[in-house]
Chain A
Amino acid sequence: MVLDIRGLAVTFRTDRGPLRAVDDLSFSVEAGRTLAVVGESGCGKSVTALAIMGLLPPNARLSGSIRLHGREMSTLNPAEWRRRRGRELAMVFQEPMTSLNPAFTAGEQVAEVLRLHERLGERAAFDRAVALLDRVRIPDAARRARQYPHQLSGGMRQRVMIAMALACKPRLLIADEPTTALDVTVQAQILALLDELKRETGTAVVLITHDLGIVADHADDVVVMYAGRAAERAPAARLFARPEHPYTVGLLGAAPRIEGGPGGRMSRLASIEGTVPDLLHPPEGCRFAPRCPFHGTDCTRQPPLAEIEPGHATACWRAPLDQVLAA
């Protein structure tokens, strides 16, 4: 197990009171596999990623357990966490246009990681950086390495970010919506590249996205998040074959690429009405209740994330849902 998260919670101190952005979140990823984290905007995906990286802002408080290769990270001091960042765990961000430093060349920025973690000299690090840029299929890598970010396209910049993240062969790669800002064709290329590199290096990947099509094509396992909590967790194939949480069903109904399943279920949840709850004042009990067509009096208590088949868990009092729908 490369990454194992148990009961992760992140609370922000804000002017309007404490905001619990992530609550009781648990999942794990094995080497060479991809776990997708999906959910609407603001459900806590990026906060989860930053928590794992140890990059939460100062107003955040973290609790629960984050284990990387069996080692507990949440109790490490900042310097120890820092030494692992960029080497054992790395991250690719959503914004390729702004995530690279405009004042340094692409090659310098990749080389910097190697100089830091592998103690390479300037020349050797730069040569390795060029090789890495070539590896992520940047054409004419030697020339591009000497260029500044503004001279590169968005897709190329994201390739530079990937080269930088994978430079030290990390055990865990977190990709936070790595293709959201890119054209559809470039998106597919970048995701294919990530898959290929994952197979080659055996890196475990946490892929954050809100695109279920990407999940279907690239993920082994999925965690569906809703308002900071896991609504459902399952192998990707099972999630699409048998979505259990009403929120997941709604998401799939809204996703144009997914077909199949009993027509009645889909039509009832074709779109999710209502809005995401205010995390400063989350609803009592099940957080999805205000939008859930199946809610009842028992939903004022928080449903636990419980298994309904091996490896497939859902946080809903109505589980298993297919029996409810059949009735």
Chain B
Amino acid sequence: MLAWFLRRLGQIVPTLLILSVMIFGLQQLMPGDPALTLAGEERGDPQVLAQIRAELRLDRPLPEQYLHWVARAVQGDFGFSWRIREPVAKLILEKLPVTFQLAVMAFLIALVIGIPAGVISAVRRDRPVDWLANGLALFGISMPNFWLGIMMILLFSVQLGWLPPSGYVPLTEDPVQSLATTIMPAFVLGSGIAGVLMRHTRAAMLGALSQDYVRTARAKGLDERVVVGRHALRNALIPVVTLGTIEFGRLLAGAVLTEQIFTIPGFGKLIVDAVFNRDYPVVQGVVMATALIFVTLSLIADILYMAVNPRLRSA
């Protein structure tokens, strides 16, 4: 188990390194001179430009710039935002919880809808409930987030006036208001995942329900609810767990657009603003942080998969 874990970590480090080279390299291909942007009004003064370049080490060879950046990055220092003059790490840590709250809520919504719907759909296969669940899943998967978001804002904010159409209140400040500002974006984000989870749960349940051990469970005299909810579901969830973790990662990515629609100051907004303003340190930091989150999630997915699958746990 420990050996496996170390081996897994050994795979992660090179992955992140290659990624960092790519991010750094791509950055150099982006058009425009950051020094010009930073100089603002004084962009005509060559002395100011030279000073800025020296300060940011833009006058050094690329490999040196890269090594310098990596050396600081491994210590959690991603430099300063060129635009707002704040440490990138601080910006990330400020914005991440917002997106994380959104993602967790979206994921919970997806779980609460997707898994029971998948189970019911499998048990009532080819009946009206199954058709309805499949139809809704298709709807959830294929509906563009921006459209669903706008429709929800129109209905719940404009028409009914129940929920604020935009903005964000931190959970620590006012939990109720915080939920009110995030429930719609969370639903928009979660709806697609709910559909994916529903479909996978349904397929896995159909597989599990046709297994011999389900017949054994019935032969014991167990109630059908126990047969389905314990014996079949426990096995069906094994593949769904991995899928769920990967979907959670995709959810963080999906948050970028949703945060724009609902003007939520999260991770997504941070990176969009940074890209438009050529705020390279922020772009680099955010992309690296995202990569780190994805890598961590895939590690968690593997650990969870082992935890729920006795076959692997004892091997």
Contact = CB atoms under 8 A, between A and B. Distances in A.
B partners with A:
yes
A117 B216 CA distance: 15
A101 B235 contact: yes
Contact of A87 (B215, B221, B308, B314): B221
Interface in B212-231: 212-213, 215-223, 231
Interface stretch (A78-86, A126-134, A269-277, A281-289): A78-86
B223 A86 contact: no
B7 interface: no
Interface string A157-192: 000010010000000000000000000000000000
A99 B220 contact: no
Contact of A82 (B215, B223, B235): B223
Contact of A98 (B212, B219, B308): B212
A112 interface: yes
Main secondary structure of the interface of B (DSSP, over half): helix
Contacts of A116: 220-222
B310 interface: yes
A85 B216 contact: no
B85 interface: no
A117 B223 CA distance: 12
Contact of A85 (B212, B221, B231, B238): B221
A268 to B, nearest CB: 41
A101 B221 contact: no
A55 B215 contact: yes
A150 B213 contact: no
Residue of B213, B309, B314 most packed against chain A (CB within 10 A): B213
A119 B234 CA distance: 23
Contact of A99 (B216, B223, B309, B314): B216
A104 interface: yes
Interface string B218-257: 1111110000000100110010000000000000000000
Given A148-B310, A150-B310, A150-B311, A101 B219 contact: no
A85 to B, nearest CB: 4
Given A101-B231, A103-B235, A112-B220, A95 B212 contact: yes
A316 interface: no
A58 to B, nearest CB: 11
B211 interface: yes
Contacts of A112: 220, 222
Contacts of A105: 310
A93 B212 contact: yes
Contacts of A85: 218-221
A140 B209 CA distance: 32
Interface in A230-265: none
A3 interface: no
Contacts of A103: 231, 234-235, 238, 308-310
Nearest to A88: B221
Contacts of A113: 220-221
Interface string B164-192: 00000000000000000000000000000
A86 B311 contact: no
A37 interface: no
Given A82-B223, A93-B212, A95-B212, A101 B311 contact: no
A93 B215 CA distance: 9
A90 interface: yes
A117 B212 contact: no
A148 B235 CA distance: 13
Contacts of B222: 82, 86, 112, 116
Contact of A117 (B213, B221, B231, B314): B221
A161 B314 CA distance: 22
Interface string B186-207: 0000000000000000000000
Contact of A102 (B220, B221, B311): B311
A106 B238 CA distance: 19
Contacts of A104: 231, 234
A101 B213 contact: yes
Nearest to A105: B310
Interface of B: 211-213, 215-223, 231, 234-235, 238, 308-311, 314
Interface of A: 53, 55, 82-87, 90-91, 93, 95, 98-105, 112-113, 116-117, 147-148, 150-151, 161, 164
10 contacts: A55-B218, A86-B220, A95-B212, A98-B211, A98-B212, A99-B213, A103-B231, A148-B314, A150-B311, A164-B220
Going nearest first, the 8 A-B pairs with the smallest beta carbon separation are: A86-B221, A85-B221, A86-B220, A148-B310, A101-B213, A98-B212, A103-B234, A99-B212
Given A100-B216, A116-B221, 5 more contacts: A53-B219, A55-B215, A103-B231, A112-B220, A116-B220
